[in-house]
A and B are shown apart, each in its own frame.
Chain A
């Protein structure tokens, strides 16, 4: 039984990583209406910035964390201004294609600047584990889940209770009318990119202590994160985190107890989740189905 729960716990740990990145995918989708394929590479880039500050410039963890968040926010805004804004008017597919290009560029850039070597990243949480009935739970995992849930609360409050948050939602759902009521749509979209980049930085820094920092750290995590976001409902922050946790636990148990799945079929299983959710419940577990009034 301990072995079963150990798999559940390690699934929650991987799931919290998927959830953290899924959260930033959901944020950018809510704030700008597009799916950002470069989200994972942006997170990796931010994590490298934090790592450089700690390793080469004598920063301690939290100041480096804050600096990385600020730099990422500015970077996100910069990316929006430089490459997204010129293609924003017109079919959404153009933006999506540009984000795929961004993925490639950022991945190459990271390898070029920091080389492909694997780096250890300090964790903000204690390295100890708690033992519950023979099942070891690490503080790192508990911390990751806690930070994810905290981000959900903060995001929820931001989108519901602040003027900027409401304006961002308006700009994403109906840019034309938002403009009419005085929302500066373009600026809102830029802020959305900035926030998503900052949240991605959080995801990267939570992920790196577990999977270690390398240029491809987020490449497959991104696919699981998409599955998590779709499972939870692409518009729902709570859904992203819950979807991530469900996916992490589900894949671990499948791999352990269903022989032919093993570890080989993890990615196909994630794809299957995406497919089934889109067919059976397109709005996901927590999303609101879109009703179109005619």
Chain B
């Protein structure tokens, strides 16, 4: 089904690519061509939903007039999460397909691989789908690049602040992936715990090539910690729950990073309720959760379901990665509107330099996408949520990561 959708869209995109205005690449009287890469194949292929969700939203927006009468043609191509392929695929999008901007490509390594070239060629790298800290932090050097989601550091910081406030005196053990992703989360956690009575007493890394994390979990337990924090990808987070449960470890608090905490992963980890450790897990959330029972009647969720039904039939609408894609696409439409009728790459980047977008129906109510001055991390607000009896329940108010 998805394959058919992908084929269908590449046909329309190819037609659109031939209509060009004389001045700015990818902009015509009636169209804007955006490009992007995504892992349509391979181990990371579930992240293709980020691109498919965005594509579906653009179809919806196009049917409602587009941006100043221009329809958005979003052409995403496969990179298999391989940075080397990202480079050639991105080059092709720019040189042959003459896209206006690269938008919403998932992955940290893949986006780093093309950042220099895109900035050198003054091609916007709009809303990178990765929480690495570098996108916002290095805005001065790479002004054509913008992040989107909360940084991993901001996420870790919120967990730290939460534990500092509610679990004073706890001893924390952390399992983290041995790369920038895991280390950013861990760094944020430690920052959030500064000057508190909560200490990280053990941190164990695993490699992406590891077969399992049982050994690390046994070591973390031996440290005498009473709080377990998992900064991992879904497979390893699920394994960690299993390993901790097997050796009979019952930590008082468990925290799992948002990327690992999709409802499907949590359900896999809880084994139909047989793994009690999963219940009560804390994580963050900034997107609307399509599986949240309380949001069933909410108009924004209704809109999301309608768009999915119409433009991504057959796809699993419970997957929050589609919501992510729509949230990014919605914001892109706002940014393109702000960039004005005489759209250029420079006017888009200028529009994003100081940018505020409220009321994104795919983000949690109250979250504002905002950049200003030195702060170029668009989303910095999030809610905490707790996994209870088979679903996530948000609690408390919005947490805002302080601009550094």
Given the complex, which residues of A lie within 8 Å of B205, measured CB to CB? Answer: 262-264
Within the complex, what minimum Cβ distance (angstroms) separates B162 from chain A?
26
Within the complex, what minimum Cβ distance (angstroms) separates B30 from chain A?
36
Within the complex, what minimum Cβ distance (angstroms) separates A1 from chain B?
11
Do B43 and A129 touch across chains, with their CB atoms under 8 A apart? no
Given the complex, which residues of A lie within 8 Å of B85, measured CB to CB? Answer: none
A to B CB contacts below 8 Å, 21 in the list = A6-B218, A6-B221, A7-B215, A10-B214, A111-B41, A115-B45, A116-B44, A119-B268, A120-B238, A120-B269, A127-B271, A136-B246, A140-B246, A214-B43, A220-B209, A224-B211, A252-B215, A256-B219, A264-B178, A264-B207, A267-B207
Within the complex, what minimum Cβ distance (angstroms) separates A39 from chain B?
15
Do A263 and B44 touch across chains, with their CB atoms under 8 A apart? no
- Which of A3, A108, A224, A263 is the one whose CB lies under 8 Å from B216? A263
Mask, A99-123, CB within 8 Å of B = 1, is 0000000001001000111111000
Closest to A264 in B: B207
- Which of A3, A119, A210 is the one whose CB lies under 8 Å from B242? A210
Within the complex, what minimum Cβ distance (angstroms) separates B121 from chain A?
32
Q: In whole angstroms, how far apart are the Cα atoms of A266 and B243 in the complex?
A: 19
Q: In whole angstroms, how far apart are the Cα atoms of A160 and B316 in the complex?
A: 52
Question: Which A positions have Cβ atoms within 8 angstroms of B?
Answer: 2-3, 6-7, 10-11, 13-14, 17, 108, 111, 115-120, 127, 129, 131, 136, 138, 140, 210-212, 214-216, 220-221, 224, 252, 255-256, 262-264, 266-267
Do A118 and B235 touch across chains, with their CB atoms under 8 A apart? yes
Within the complex, what minimum Cβ distance (angstroms) separates A53 from chain B?
17
Within the complex, what minimum Cβ distance (angstroms) separates B174 from chain A?
13
Do A14 and B207 touch across chains, with their CB atoms under 8 A apart? no
Within the complex, what minimum Cβ distance (angstroms) separates A126 from chain B?
10
Q: In whole angstroms, how far apart are the Cα atoms of A223 and B206 in the complex?
A: 17
Given the complex, which residues of A lie within 8 Å of B247, measured CB to CB? Answer: 6, 10, 129, 136, 138
Do A3 and B207 touch across chains, with their CB atoms under 8 A apart? no
Q: In whole angstroms, how far apart are the Cα atoms of A278 and B243 in the complex?
A: 34
Do A266 and B207 touch across chains, with their CB atoms under 8 A apart? yes
Do B211 and A211 touch across chains, with their CB atoms under 8 A apart? yes
Within the complex, what minimum Cβ distance (angstroms) separates A172 from chain B?
30
B341 at the binding interface (Cβ < 8 Å): no
Given the complex, which residues of A lie within 8 Å of B366, measured CB to CB? Answer: none
Do B218 and A212 touch across chains, with their CB atoms under 8 A apart? no
User: Which residues 174-223 in B have Cβ within 8 Å of A in the complex?
Assistant: 178, 204-207, 209-212, 214-219, 221-222
Do A108 and B41 touch across chains, with their CB atoms under 8 A apart? yes
Given the complex, which residues of A lie within 8 Å of B216, measured CB to CB? Answer: 263
| Interface residue SS majority, chain B | helix
Given the complex, which residues of B lie within 8 Å of A214, measured CB to CB? Answer: 43, 235
Given the complex, which residues of B lie within 8 Å of A111, measured CB to CB? Answer: 41-43, 45
Closest to B269 in A: A120
Do B271 and A120 touch across chains, with their CB atoms under 8 A apart? yes
User: Which residues 251-299 in B have Cβ within 8 Å of A in the complex?
Assistant: 264-265, 267-269, 271, 274-275
Contact residue range for chain B?
35 or more
Q: In whole angstroms, how far apart are the Cα atoms of A12 and B246 in the complex?
A: 14
Closest to B216 in A: A263
Starting from the known contacts A115-B45, A117-B46, A129-B248, 15 additional A-B residue pairs (CB-CB under 8 Å) come to A7-B218, A11-B215, A115-B46, A116-B43, A117-B264, A118-B238, A118-B264, A127-B271, A127-B274, A129-B247, A210-B239, A224-B211, A256-B215, A256-B219, A263-B178
B378 at the binding interface (Cβ < 8 Å): no
Given the complex, which residues of B lie within 8 Å of A252, measured CB to CB? Answer: 215
Report the tally of A-B residue pairs with Cβ distances under 8 A: 107
The 8 A-B pairs at the shortest CB distance, nearest first, are namely A120-B268, A3-B222, A10-B214, A136-B247, A138-B246, A6-B218, A252-B215, A116-B46
Do B246 and A263 touch across chains, with their CB atoms under 8 A apart? no
Within the complex, what minimum Cβ distance (angstroms) separates A174 from chain B?
37
Q: Given the known A-B contacts A10-B215, A211-B212, are A118 and B234 also in contact in the complex, defined by CB atoms under 8 Å? A: yes
Within the complex, what minimum Cβ distance (angstroms) separates A58 from chain B?
15
Q: In whole angstroms, how far apart are the Cα atoms of A256 and B204 in the complex?
A: 10
Q: Which of B207, B210, B212, B265 has the most CB of A within 10 A?
A: B212
Given the complex, which residues of B lie within 8 Å of A119, measured CB to CB? Answer: 268
Q: Given the known A-B contacts A118-B268, A120-B268, are A263 and B235 also in contact in the complex, defined by CB atoms under 8 Å? A: no
Within the complex, what minimum Cβ distance (angstroms) separates A131 from chain B?
7
Within the complex, what minimum Cβ distance (angstroms) separates B320 from chain A?
13
Q: Given the known A-B contacts A10-B218, A120-B269, A212-B235, are A17 and B211 also in contact in the complex, defined by CB atoms under 8 Å? A: yes
Q: In whole angstroms, how far apart are the Cα atoms of A118 and B44 in the complex?
A: 11
Within the complex, what minimum Cβ distance (angstroms) separates B288 from chain A?
21
Within the complex, what minimum Cβ distance (angstroms) separates B238 from chain A?
5
Given the complex, which residues of B lie within 8 Å of A216, measured CB to CB? Answer: 43
Q: In whole angstroms, how far apart are the Cα atoms of A188 and B238 in the complex?
A: 41
Q: In whole angstroms, how far apart are the Cα atoms of A1 and B206 in the complex?
A: 23
Within the complex, what minimum Cβ distance (angstroms) separates A248 from chain B?
9
Given the complex, which residues of B lie within 8 Å of A7, measured CB to CB? Answer: 215, 218-219
Do B215 and A255 touch across chains, with their CB atoms under 8 A apart? yes
Do B242 and A116 touch across chains, with their CB atoms under 8 A apart? no
Within the complex, what minimum Cβ distance (angstroms) separates B42 from chain A?
7
Closest to B222 in A: A3
Closest to B209 in A: A220
Q: In whole angstroms, how far apart are the Cα atoms of A7 and B214 in the complex?
A: 8
Q: In whole angstroms, how far apart are the Cα atoms of A7 and B204 in the complex?
A: 14
Within the complex, what minimum Cβ distance (angstroms) separates B177 from chain A?
11
Given the complex, which residues of A lie within 8 Å of B217, measured CB to CB? Answer: 10
- Which of B46, B210, B215, B268 is the one whose CB lies under 8 Å from A212? B268
